[in-house]
Copies of this chain bind each other. A is one copy, B any other.
């Protein structure tokens, strides 16, 4: 590692404003109010629970108490990247050094966090300090978007309610309430999608999004078949096996049709197995399956050739499959590094793979997946450091590589800008917002 060069590159990349194309930030309460909210992020509760089983639920609603409870349990996490994120928040946003993070200091840390974060001007200071330019959200179809500052927040439509949700009577009923009539026919589903897209487009919609289980298979399913499946759902039956697969394949296609009509991308996040860990904390119960074929998306990518599919895969074993898909398919765009692959080791490999063989205009470098704005900066720094490392390595290789033209600092920064700014804007169409 050429430390000086990495640092030089990193520092230049770190001056870029942040465009964060996938978060779970709530636009009305985007920033944490205190350090307890930061610690309530599942990355900390799940690691504390992993280090030592938490028999009683964590006091997630009492952030002071949560701070008191979590602090002594952070010791075994000190060498994790998740802890590093926390320290960056502490050091740079709260002005508290890592040495303060001792259990007996919990009240001091909590009070200090309130002092900083619980001020009306905090949100704007935070945005300025972190140089955040645009934050994309993940929104429910009926979520209140009135008054959203769409020059900064970009709403993106969760499509699970239209795909998986319809199978659940309560969720289907809610969707019917949103539409103004019960969901009884494929046309009703289309109408609900249409209404949602219209609402979102009116507020500067980014894209539609779906997180899907391992080995999902998309396929053509006709309207008659869809009607038959919907009839069974309405009759109170539960779908399973092939029927469930058929319904979901149908519904996903209808989302694609809407994406096509409205010219919006469909962001796929592939491969999460929900709720598999019984003793997990909230949001800390999901894993993935290393056995995960992307072959199931061929139908979708081929049929909706005019829809852009920014795509993330949760399993490391899907990394080269995704790279290869983006290498030849015109409408697949590798997007960031999701969740369990969002750590230096797997990120480093995927960055290099993608840079080596995928057209540079197709790569979306990173998104934070953050729940609060505070997490965006440390997570982007983790990525930017790995990117700087990969680019520095490439610069050094180019000096002695028999096939490579010189790859200089400016070339490296151009690539970084493509990945972090130009591509997200163009692929998602943020210029339109």
Contacts and interface: CB of A to CB of B under 8 A. Distances in A.
Interface of A: 1, 3, 6-7, 10, 14, 46-47, 49-53, 76-82, 84-85, 87-88, 98, 273, 276-280, 284-285, 287-295, 298, 301-302, 305, 315-321, 323-331, 340-341, 343-346, 349, 352-353, 355-362, 378, 381-382, 384-385, 393-394, 396-397, 399-405, 407, 411, 415
A353 B359 contact: no
Contacts of A341: 320
Q: How many subunits of this chain does the assembly comprise?
A: 3
Contacts of A98: 405
Contacts of A14: 402
A310 to B, nearest CB: 14
Contacts of A273: 295
Given A287-B321, A317-B290, A319-B316, A359 B87 contact: no
A315 B362 CA distance: 22
A341 B3 CA distance: 29
Contacts of A349: 345
Contacts of A321: 287-290, 315
A88 B403 CA distance: 5
A258 to B, nearest CB: 21
B290 A53 contact: no
B329 A50 contact: yes
A404 B79 CA distance: 9
* Cβ-closest 6 pairs across A and B: A51-B359, A278-B302, A76-B359, A84-B403, A53-B330, A76-B361
A401 B385 contact: yes
A326 to B, nearest CB: 7
